[in-house]
Structure 1
Amino acid sequence: MHSKDLERLIDSFERSTLVELKYTQGNTNVHLGRRQQTPVEVAETTLKPAAAAVMPTPSPQPNEHLIVAPMAGIVYLRPSPAKPDFTSIGSQVSEGDTLAVIEAMKLFNPLEAEFACEIVEILVADGEDVERGTPIYRARKVNHV
């Protein structure tokens, strides 16, 4: 399977309401699944106009990592407008902590920390439309929280 075909398969899966997909072609086996949804309270917001200029992707420092959107959608940095952000600059988070929620096709998908880290920079605004791969946070790995 070519990488373009795999990307199309993943994009189709992300746009669908399927929970799991298994695909086999020759020696290629692909298994896609969604994580269990975390209940999150999100109020409706008004749409914001798209930014006129494309911002360049920031380059992380040697000991820093970019935490990116795993799918296209609207990113929410807090569980609801009345509640504080999931995290902030300087906060240390543990692996598995929810950092944001991405709304895609009326589903709210948690963006979880893949490792213990300190948030160095927040690269998007609450309620902003993002594409898959858009940097959300710049973080520095830590040994423990």
Structure 2
Amino acid sequence: MTAILSLSLLSAPEAAPAQAGVTTVAVVDVARVIDASAPGKAGQRYIDGLKKELDAEMDKFKREMQGAKEAPARLAQKESELEARYQAEYTRVTGLLLNGLKRAVNGWLKENKKGIKIVLPASAALGFAQSADISGEILRRLNAAAIDFGKK
């Protein structure tokens, strides 16, 4: 079974031209696009600032708890609460970035003249021709997006 699958992958054309009834696919390096984008950098700054804020809050709490006999239990509880806040914000910021990326991709799909009907994360592809990578075009679109990471 593996040999048959391997042979079929090897015999597949690297970049077939668009034909009637054939869906053309493009790929995006999601991590690279988000990391390089203005919204991605802003999201990272927001998360880094939140981490510093939560660390300062924990340090202050530790100073306040010095000498208290219930300190170990209360410190563990406070640490757990702060970690939960951090994770919730990280998840929210990541969701905002992914939604921005999806809007950028969907906008590109509506306007592309290459016949592309599907855009996949590059990490999901076993291989692809360099011409199928539209990361640069999506990065330009994502850079134009304004994403507010402030609490809503």
TM-score range, shorter chain: under 0.3
Higher strand share: 1
TM-score with structure 2 length normalisation?
Answer: 0.23
Determine which structure has greater relative contact order: mean sequence separation of CA pairs < 8 Å that are 6+ residues apart, divided by chain length: 2
Return the index of the structure with the highest Cα Rg: 2
**How high is the TM-score relative to the length of structure 1?**
0.23
